[in-house]
Amino acid sequence: MDKRISLTIVEVCKKLGIEYSSCNPNYLSMINDAKRLGEIYRDLKIISGDLTAIAERHNIEGLKDLLLDDATTIEKIDHEIIKIAKKLKEENAY
């Protein structure tokens, strides 16, 4: 809860042009990074699904394997994004 209060104070002070140094200076960047990682994760899931659908729709030699390999690679990447997000959360826990 303290982090949310700190974040609110930082945002209000910024809007009002008041200089303020938070006791949780990394919290705002951690929140923004976590949001961005969530967006990237969502986009990768969509891309992976699109690649799989295209691969299944077209029976072109080699294309299906290539696209399915790409989809698998994206799946591995999104799991790494989850690990990074968890690590960010743990490192910035007070």
pLDDT in tens, 9-62: 878 888 889 888 766 666 667 777 777 878 888 888 888 788 788 878 887 778
Q: Residue 73: pLDDT above 70?
A: yes
Report the length, in residues, of the chain. Answer: 94
pTM over 0.85: no
Q: How confident is the model at residue 1 (pLDDT cuts 50, 70, 90)?
A: very low
How far, in Å, CA of 94 to CA of 78, rounded? 26
Average pLDDT over residues 88-94: 65
Radius of gyration (Cα) for the chain, nearest Å? 20
